[in-house]
Amino acid sequence: MASINELSLAKGLTQIVELASQGLEAGEAPILEQVSDVTAELLKWWFQQEFQDARAFNFHPGQRHALLNVIYAHEVLGVSTLQDLYLAVAPDVLLASTRDSEAIEASKNAYPKYCLKMATGTGKTWVLQALMIWQILNANRAPDSPRFAKNFLVVAPGLIVYDRLLDAFMGKEREGKRDFSISDLSVFQELFIPDAYRDEVFRFVQGAVCPKEDIGRKVTAGGIIAISNWHLLSEESEPLDDAELETPGDAVDPKVVVQSVLPLTPGTNQGNDLNVLNRRYERGGILTYLKDLPGLVVFNDEAHHIHEFKREGEVSEVEWQKSLNIIAEPKGSRFVQVDFSATPYNEVGSGKNSRKSYFPHIVVDFDLKTAMRSGLVKSLVLDKRSEIGALSHEELDFKADRDENGNPTLSEGQRIMLRAGLTKLSKLETDFGGLDPDKHPKMLVVCEDTTVTPLVAEFMKGEGLADEEVLTVDSNRKGELKAEEWKQLRERLFDVDRHKAPRVIVSVLMLREGFDVNNICVIVPLRASSAGILLEQTIGRGLRLMWRGNEYDDIKRDNRQSIKAGQTPANMIDILSIVEHPAFQSFYDELIQEGLAAEADDEDDENTSSTGDLISVGLRPGFEALDFAIPFILREQVEELEDTNIEPSSLEAFGAFSLGQLKSQIGQGEKFHSEDVQARTRFGDYRVHGGVMTATGYNDYLARITRRITESVTLTGTTGSSKDFANASKFPYIQINRAELAEGIDTYVRQHLFRQELDPLVDENWRVLLIDPVTEHIIKVWARAILEAEDNVVVADAEVAHRRLSEVSKLAMREGSSLAVNKAIYMRLPYPSRNGGLEQAFMETCERDASVDAFCKINEQKHTFARLRYIKDDGLPAFYSPDFFVRSGGAIYLVETKAQGQMTTPNVLRKRKAAVAWCDRINVLAPEHRSGIEWHYVLLGETSFYGWRDRGGSIGELLAFARLRPVEDKGQAKFAF
């Protein structure tokens, strides 16, 4: 039966959104026609496949799910209350239960309200920031729309999450100052913001962010991003509404009269401590300020703190939620609340009768189990120690004991659990250190109360740990530290991943949320509470991935498959070990039954390496003779293009629509206000910075498109940051004469773009150039033409530097998917465990072929300097690394091995062209700059390789025969064997 607890709202909304989002990867989804133009641009930028392929990082399916559901509910459905949303996507819930219906229709839900249920470690903060960008850009273009706002309040439950949010928006604090360049928005700008909007977003955010002490004091222009922890909103104060206004004729309370005349009653026990009074006064001012804002979007991070159930059906709201209700009251639908929580529920009942009561406004359900199945968080293994197994749970006490004076002491059960955790930690440290000395696993001990934490710290020291190896994070009963204590602790706490010490972190409540480090690998839960919400929050501290990179994907996938089959995984790569606590057994049993957790015991630990067959392979003795020195032509060189003239008549004309069809689409006259052009014109799959679509005349358009083409082809990276564009003119990759380029584009537009004469200034013909496909076509053909001219570079007096493959001294690989070799700088070389047969066969052949002097498999994650720049078929810049370097017969070959069916795909052909051009540039260098050797590129299909090998031909002969050479034929580059 449909109900709140069945998460019917999330299920119904998701079903609708999935239909509306079909085809989004190709840029053709129905949702793109249902949202504003700028929202459509954002959705394309975030989720269109060609943009995702050009980035090193993207939103995962859970984040995509969250963003699309909120945007669809708010912008497409246009709901004003929670009840509106239920009526649109889950109306059965309102009919099925009176209690559910009353909860949904409550006054506190009389505005747009969305809760995102996302597992710990799955990037809730990224979703928060993306939603904020969506609101800002739309509010700038539709300031009167009640759907969008530029005022934001971001509320954190405590100091840890508060500091994490400041880091995300302002950058980490260094020497008392925050550096915006290392904020999330800046570091991941390639994901969050299309090029054309980055300056707009950065200006707003840098001017609008207010820490809690500046809220209501800092003057911001056009909006505010207020970041606060819940304490600022939770202290008791005089009400800000009209509930207690005087009514004429009422009897006057004598106490009120006395208090209005007499001074404050002395003594802090009356609540008249000056610090308390000052905080209350400031809080009142902040609430008044926030209440008076015309519109506000509130983001509640870790929103499970909002409610506290006293008994089933009766909810007592905590003070800071009451404050939000006060702030929301005058705003109506211009107040929006977005809650984030991994555990958006309350425990109802107790003992065996306890159950979860979910928040009614959950619109996304990306839970822990889904995250585990997707490999987005660590897998879970329960350590069942034989020492624990030797005694029944009834015989062994897992709570602290008390001595004759009532002082707490660690029980025998707690000592056994701590020793078990230390044993696991020591094994992980040894095994991980052998694979990667920069990986430092940590153990987290969650104590039952603050009286136990010093006992655990002393116990650890008694087990041989030094003072600096144990970090105790004590807190009060609310899980908070004093500001000064936290200031001294936070730098060390959030930097634990990079250092060997501390090895063990001991805490009670302080670290149950927001403690987002990657290297927690062992958790010892000494707390005896069986509350599911506390357990999930505790486990959440260790869920973030520690091992990232393609070389670990296979081994982690195998781990998940082993766990699903009910087997202990063969290694501990991104495995979280929980030292079993009997109070949590039902939770574990549920995960085990669903194939999401496995059990381990002492025998497994003794016989199994923590790293499985993952090994670290170093350089062999005498590697120098087998090394490859890659020449790099420095930017300070003198470079000239032999022929920079691009003939406009040789460029491809626009063929999708005729000029007449385009003009009929856009109309004439008063329809062409610049505001309409900006709002309704968008660039589909090419980056446009500064907005060609904001051009107010043909000359302006010509200047803007010339600048964008010039900058895009002179960038040496793919980030497209504002800094990159600023440096492009100072340190260009190639020199381009902008005046000559503008003249060429003008000629192309007037004579060749539509295969007929076009006067841009007659009848406002130039406006057809603003249509997305037309502008996209112009950019694409001219960018390609310029980059192809790079093939004709003449280098004089070049200054050349070299990078050697041996700079990467170690590689991680699976022993079972690697080959012992003698002709490479490394003792072994890896190949893909899936579909890696061709690469394995090629290496085996090179190893036993006397014509090969040396070879090496390129690791694109480590050998980042051994990669080539090319332009994809869609006109976007990208990098790629060849599979192998091979030295044979006085030449070095860049070898790309490909399945036969992939030999002629468009991007493979473009990679091929870029590689041949690079080799050609290197080969014109003086011999001393290229080790007296020529470089060549070989695209080797499996049919050619196996056929040549099976006929007894040598690798040296094959590569010399198959190398690609540029051949000029009527201006078009071709290739010949």
pLDDT tens across 813-863, in order?
888 889 999 999 999 999 988 788 999 999 999 999 999 999 999 988 788
How far, rounded to the nearest angstrom, does the alpha carbon of residue 561 sit from its chain's CA centroid?
Answer: 25
Question: Would the pLDDT of 389 be above 50?
Answer: no
CB atoms within 10 A of CB 853: 16
Question: Would the pLDDT of 281 be above 90?
Answer: no
Could you report the per-residue pLDDT of 354-370, keeping only the tens digit for each? 677 889 999 999 988 88
How far, rounded to the nearest angstrom, does the alpha carbon of residue 959 sit from its chain's CA centroid?
Answer: 41
pLDDT of 543: 81
Question: Would the pLDDT of 619 be above 80?
Answer: yes
DSSP code string of 81-122: SHHHHHHHH-THHHHH-HHHHHHHHSGGGSS-EEEEEE-TTS
Give the residues across from 166 on adjacent strands: none
Instruction: Tell the burial category of 731 from Cβ atoms under 10 Å away from its Cβ (0-12, 13-18, 19+).
Output: exposed
Could you report the per-residue pLDDT of 686-700, keeping only the tens digit for each? 233 334 445 668 888
pLDDT of 511: 60
Residue with tokens 């900006």: 678
Residue with tokens 């040496």: 716
Mean pLDDT of 258-271: 47
Q: Where are the alpha helices (DSSP H) in 223-332?
A: 231-234, 254-261, 274-292, 319-328
Which tokens is 964 given?
A: 């690609």
Instruction: Say which residue, 829 or 3, is predicted with more confidence.
Output: 829
pLDDT of 742: 87
Q: What does each C-alpha distance from 756 to 631, 792, 916 come to in angstroms?
A: 47, 31, 36
Instruction: Say which residue, 283 or 491, is predicted with more confidence.
Output: 491
Mean pLDDT of 546-552: 78
263-267, 444-448, 899-903: least confident range: 263-267
Measure the CA–CA gap between 136 and 225, rounded to whole angstroms: 11
- B/e letters for 737-767, b = 16+ CB within 10 Å, e = fewer, are eeeebbebbbebbbebbbeeebebeeebbbb
Residue with tokens 């998701």: 14
Measure the CA–CA gap between 398 and 342, rounded to whole angstroms: 27
What single-letter amino acid sits at 721? S
Question: Would the pLDDT of 397 be above 70?
Answer: no
Q: What is the CA radius of gyration of the chain?
A: 32
pLDDT of 51: 83
Instruction: Tell the burial category of 82 from Cβ atoms under 10 Å away from its Cβ (0-12, 13-18, 19+).
Output: buried
pLDDT of 715: 55
Q: What sign for the dihedral angle of Cα 303, 306, 311, 313?
A: negative
Is residue 17 a contact partner of residue 5, using CB atoms and an 8 Å limit?
no
DSSP code string of 185-215: HHHTHHHHS-GGGHHHHHHHHHHHEE-GGGT
708: Cβ contacts below 8 Å, ≥ 6 apart: 687, 688, 689, 690, 692, 779
Peptide bond between residue 569 and the one before it cis (omega within 30 degrees of 0): no
pLDDT of 168: 87
Residue with tokens 């740990």: 465
Could you report the per-residue pLDDT of 154-188, keeping only the tens digit for each? 988 777 778 888 888 988 776 667 888 888 888 89
Question: Would the pLDDT of 735 be above 80?
Answer: no
Is residue 38 a contact partner of residue 141, using CB atoms and an 8 Å limit?
yes
Q: Which of 65, 240, 215 is nearest to 155 (CA)?
A: 215
Question: Would the pLDDT of 285 be above 90?
Answer: no
786: Cβ contacts below 8 Å, ≥ 6 apart: 646, 709, 713, 734, 736, 741
pLDDT of 496: 82
DSSP code string of 814-872: EGGGEEE-SSSSBSEEE--SSS-HHHHHHHHHHHH-TT--EEEE--TTT-TTS-EEEE-
pLDDT of 40: 94
Give the residues across from 633 on adjacent strands: 800
β 224-229/151-156 pair status: parallel
Could you report the per-residue pLDDT of 97-122, keeping only the tens digit for each? 788 888 888 888 889 999 999 988 88
Is residue 880 a contact partner of residue 868, using CB atoms and an 8 Å limit?
yes
Instruction: Say which residue, 870 or 475, is predicted with more confidence.
Output: 870
Backbone angles phi, psi at 514, to 5 degrees: 85, -10
Alpha carbon distance, N-terminus to C-terminus of the chain: 69
Could you report the per-residue pLDDT of 554-598, keeping only the tens digit for each? 888 888 888 877 777 877 888 888 887 666 666 667 767 666 666
Which tokens is 292 given?
A: 């008076």
Measure the CA–CA gap between 245 and 833, rounded to whole angstroms: 74
Measure the CA–CA gap between 469 and 460, rounded to whole angstroms: 9
If you ran DSSP here, which 8-state letter would residue 636 be given?
Answer: T
Does residue 156 sit in helix, strand or coil?
Answer: strand
Which tokens is 639 given?
A: 């470079």
Does residue 755 sit in helix, strand or coil?
Answer: coil
What is the arrangement of strands in the sheet containing 296-301, beginning at the earlier edge strand?
Answer: 209-210, 224-229, 151-156, 296-301, 335-341, 113-118, 362-366
Question: Would the pLDDT of 728 be above 70?
Answer: no
β 877-880/868-871 pair status: antiparallel
Q: What does each C-alpha distance from 627 to 133, 623, 803, 856 come to in angstroms?
A: 48, 6, 10, 9
Mean pLDDT of 642-650: 74
Could you report the per-residue pLDDT of 137-149, keeping only the tens digit for each? 999 999 989 999 9
Which tokens is 124 given?
A: 């809730």
pLDDT of 248: 39
pLDDT of 636: 41
Does residue 638 sit in helix, strand or coil?
Answer: strand
Rounded to the nearest 10 degrees, what angle do helices 61-71 and 124-141 cross at? 30
Q: Which of 225, 215, 212 is nearest to 139 (CA)?
A: 225
345: Cβ contacts below 8 Å, ≥ 6 apart: 304, 356, 357, 358, 359, 533
Measure the CA–CA gap between 48 and 23, rounded to whole angstroms: 9
Q: Which of 540, 595, 535, 538 is nearest to 569 (CA)?
A: 595
Instruction: Say which residue, 150 or 311, is predicted with more confidence.
Output: 150
